Amino acid sequence: MIRVGLTGGIGSGKSTIAAMFQKLGAHIIDADQIGRDIVEPGAPAIAELAAAFGDSIVAADGSLVRAELARIAFQTPELTAQMNGIMFPRIVDETNKRFADAEAAGERIVIYDIPLLTEMGTDLVQMAIVVDVPVETQVERAVSRGLPEDDVRRRIAVQQKREDRLALADFVIDNSGTLEQTQEQVERIWVSLMPA
């Protein structure tokens, strides 16, 4: 089984590209979904996050107030690192379980859709695909999904720099063009990933 990291900054189009790979036959593991799963009401991560960032991040029903956590945690690189220190070990553990399940199910290619691949650890995957778009495109796309522009720019500022992401890439998908152009790039990469 081949483990491939699919990464890129906020608003780069990772989810769209993951869906393209899935249609071609890849099994997808979504790090953002794992992140949501580990902070379900009553999960140990919520108590640890509340201790670090305050009770305002927990709703009356015990669920995580994601927007409030993001507002606080993305203010500085130190706060982001503190949040990541709580979340990352749990995400890695669950990711490894899902990789093992995929391998047991006979999956040949697993795409790990993960915004923070290098921050989480590139040892989780055998190769990396970086989805690349200009920063202003990232901002436009994220704002169009309802995120406040200042929050988006703060997240971009604390995420890994574009040039550092590109340096780790085995493949780069330029996602600033049309969907058809992106699909062509995905198909070329897919062919090269297929085991002989």
Domain ranges of the chain: 2-36+89-193
Question: At CA 22, angle to CA 20 and CA 26, rounded to 5?
Answer: 125
Average pLDDT over residues 119-128: 87
Average pLDDT, the chain: 92
Closest CA to 49 of 93, 83, 94, 92: 83
For 2, the enclosing helix (H) or strand (E) is strand 2-7
Give me the CATH code for the 2-36+89-193 domain, please.
Answer: 3.40.50.300
pLDDT tens digit string along 137-158?
988 998 999 888 988 888 887 7
Distance between CA atoms of residues 159 and 115, nearest Å: 9
Per-residue pLDDT at 4 exceeds 90: yes
Query: What b/e string do you get for 130-157 counting C-beta neighbours within 10 Å, with b at 16 or more?
Result: bbbbeeebbbebbbeeebeeebbbbbbe
Q: Where are the alpha helices (DSSP H) in the chain?
A: 14-24, 31-37, 44-53, 66-73, 77-104, 117-120, 135-144, 149-158, 162-167, 179-193
Q: Is the CB of residue 172 less than 8 Å from the CB of residue 130?
A: yes
pLDDT tens digit string along 19-43?
999 999 999 999 999 999 999 998 9
Tell me if residue 110 falls in helix, strand or coil: strand
DSSP state of 161: P
Q: Is the CB of residue 3 less than 8 Å from the CB of residue 99?
A: yes
Look at residue 196 in the predicted model and tell me its pLDDT: 64
pLDDT tens digit string along 171-187?
999 999 999 999 999 99
pLDDT tens digit string along 98-122?
999 999 999 999 999 998 888 777 8
Q: What global pTM score does this model have?
A: 0.86
